[in-house]
Amino acid sequence: MLPLKGITVLEFAQFMAGPSAGLKMADLGARVIKIERPGTGEAGRGIALKNIFIDESSMVFHTANRNKQSYAANLKDPEDLERIKKLIAQADVMTHNFRPGVMEKIGLDYNTVATINPKLIYGVVSGYGPVGPWAKKPGQDLLIQSLSGFVNLSGNEADEPTASGLATSDIFTGVHLVQGILAALIQRNKTGKGAKIEVSLLESTLDIQFEVLTAFLNNGKQLPKRAKQGNAHAYIDAPYGIYKTKDRYISIALTPLDQLAKAIGVSLPEEFVDKATWFNKRDDIMTFLAAELIKETTAHWLSIFEPLDFRVSDVYNYKEFLAHEGYQALQMDQDVLTSDGITMKTTRCPIRIDGKRIFNKKSAPKVGEDNRSIDNEFNLNAL
């Protein structure tokens, strides 16, 4: 039995951070009901990658909202709001990411909702926290990567600030929201009381930089300096990085420089013998290594380094990776099916429970697809 079976989550949250949290709880066994505006539904339905849509909603929406139900309600309509309050009274968790003040205006802020259901766990996602000068600024993934210092860690020294080309801030914020909600559910089992859980994109994006921020806070506030070429981490000494070979690239992680030089078949210049230089003269060392590694193919180097258990690997694109037997062995993808009969291939939950992978065929719902059954099941029409 999946661990969250029996838990009902009402998801008012839109876009990526909140819905990715809902997806994880759904995969772990919770029942997740999206509460959506009638007609257009949540705003994330219209946000597309490469302009790709599955039905009237985008592929991205379908990726983050599979395995959920949808209940359409106009929160500004008193009758709909009354139904939602009855639903909240029977739920375990609700999540939203409205800007500060919006839920207060509607009358679904935590203090009000706690009187309807004192056992409810109320999860809020914001951009920058609930108060302060940025509280009402738009909280969007790239913006948070940019103002949190995160973009100064990737790319080479002369490159412009380099963002991660995926929704890193959203994903981690969603992950932290799930952690807080689950911890509160555990506490509720002991105390019988609900809780308000708040996370923000800014705090979560600072949290993932906790190691490098701890260095910055204790080294006299020196800012990160990226390597000139092949940078993979501003704070880690040579050889850590990506190098071009005769035919491809090779990644070299934590590997002692002296052993690496020996395996390559060159003697380490005197000036790089002292380990302190491996960081202080990192660019010189990486240039020295790059000149050697370009001489042979990736396969050649791997055939020497792997038997020595060096921390190295090839560098793949999606085509190479997803066709590799190392990927295939995971059974990481699954087909989901929409109510229109459209099949979409996507990935599954990365967590295995009791030795089992978690699969689920259900795709994302249409707006209001489950209104009738939810009205009946939760007795919402008996006003």
Partner 1 sequence: MSKPLEGILVVDFSQYLSGPSASLRLADLGARVIKIEKPETGDLCRELYFSNLVLDDESSMFHAINRNKESYAADLKNDVERQKVYKIIEKADVLIHNFRPGVANRLGIDYDKIKALNPQIIYAELTGYGKEGVWKDKPGLDLLIQSLTGLTTLNGNDGAGPVPIGLAVVDILSGAHLAQGILASLYRKQTQHVGAKVEVSMLESAIEYQFESITCFFRDGGQPTLRPKSNSAHAYLGAPYGVYATKNGAIALAMGSIPFIGELISCEALSNYPEPESWFTKRDEIKGILAEHLKTKETKDWLAVLEPADIWCAEVMDWKTLFDQEAFKILEMVQEVNRSNDYKYKTTRCPIQINGDWLTSEIGSPILGEHTEAINKELVN
244 forms bridges with which residues in the sheet? 249
Q: Which is closer to partner 1, CB of 62 or CB of 68? A: 62
Among 276, 307, 341, 382, binds partner 1 (CB under 8 A): 276
Q: Within 185-244, which residues bind partner 1 (CB under 8 A)? A: 185-187, 189-190, 195-200, 202-204, 206-219, 221-224, 226, 231-237, 240, 242, 244
Structural contact between residues 63 and 57, judged by C-beta atoms closer than 8 angstroms:
no
Q: Are 216 and 222 in contact (CB under 8 A)?
A: yes
Find where tokens 């590694």 sit. Answer: 293
Query: In terms of Cα–Cα distance, which of 354, 360, 309 is closest to 335?
Result: 360
Between helix 17-27 and helix 168-191 the angle, nearest 10°, is: 50
Least distance between partner 1 and beta carbon 118 (Å): 13
By the 8 A CB rule, do 297 and 243 touch? no
> What Rg, from alpha-carbon coordinates, does the chain have?
25
Mask of contacts with partner 1, 298-317, x by CB under 8 A?
A: -----------x-xxxxxxx
Q: Which of 180, 257, 293, 363 binds partner 1 (CB under 8 A)?
A: 180
Tell the smallest beta-carbon distance from residue 309 to partner 1 (Å).
7
What is the rounded end-to-end Cα distance, in angstroms, of the chain?
35
Nearer to partner 1, 64 or 293 (CB): 64
Q: Which of 112, 119, 129, 290 binds partner 1 (CB under 8 A)?
A: 129
By CB under 8 A, is residue 17 in contact with partner 1? no
Between residue 137 and residue 176, which ones bind partner 1 under the rule CB under 8 A? 137-138, 140-155, 159-168, 171-172, 175-176
Q: Quick check: 162 and 134 in contact, CB under 8 A?
A: no
Between 70 and 255, name the residue whose CB sits nearer to partner 1.
255
CB atoms within 10 A of CB 101: 12
Q: Which of 253, 268, 290, 304 binds partner 1 (CB under 8 A)?
A: 253
Instruction: Mark residues 60-99: x for contact with partner 1 by CB under 8 A, - for none.
Output: x-xxx-----------------------------------
Q: How far is the CB of 18 from partner 1 (least distance, A)?
A: 14
Q: Which is nearer to partner 1, 183 or 266 (by Cβ)?
A: 183
DSSP 243-277: EE-SSSEEEE-S--HHHHHHHHT-PPPGGG-STTH
**28: contact with partner 1 by CB under 8 A:** yes
């109320």: which residue's tokens? Answer: 122
Joined tokens for residue 98:
């409205």
Binding region for partner 1 (CB under 8 A) out of 31-39, 76-84, 288-296, 327-335: 327-335
Distance in angstroms (rounded) separating the CA atoms of residues 87 and 11: 12
**Region 41-60 residues binding partner 1, contact defined as CB under 8 A:** 47, 49-52, 54, 59-60
Which positions are annotated as active-site residues? 170
Under rule CB under 8 A, residue 329 binds partner 1: yes
Residues in the chain: 383
Three-state SS for 347?
strand
Residue type, position 269, single letter = P
Q: Taking the mean position of all CA atoms in its chain, how far away is CA 36? A: 23
Residue showing tokens 């050889």: 239
Compute the least distance from the CB of residue 89 to partner 1, in Å: 20
Of 86, 66, 63, 82, whose CA–CA distance to 74 is shortest? 82
Could you say which residues in the range 335-374 bind partner 1, by CB under 8 A? 344-347, 349-355
- Between 38 and 256, name the residue whose CB sits nearer to partner 1: 256
- Per CB under 8 A, 270 contacts partner 1: no
**Which residue lies nearer to partner 1 by CB, 31 or 83?**
31
Counting residues that bind partner 1 (by CB under 8 A) gives 148
Contacts of 3 (CB under 8 A, 6+ apart): 28, 29, 353
Query: Of these, 118, 330, 379, 381, which contacts partner 1 (CB under 8 A)?
Result: 330
> Please, what is the Cα angle at 215 between 209 and 220, to 5 degrees?
130
Question: Looking at beta carbons only, is 34 or 86 nearer to partner 1?
Answer: 34
Choice between 175 and 263, CB closer to partner 1: 175
* Residues forming a β-bridge with 122: 94, 196
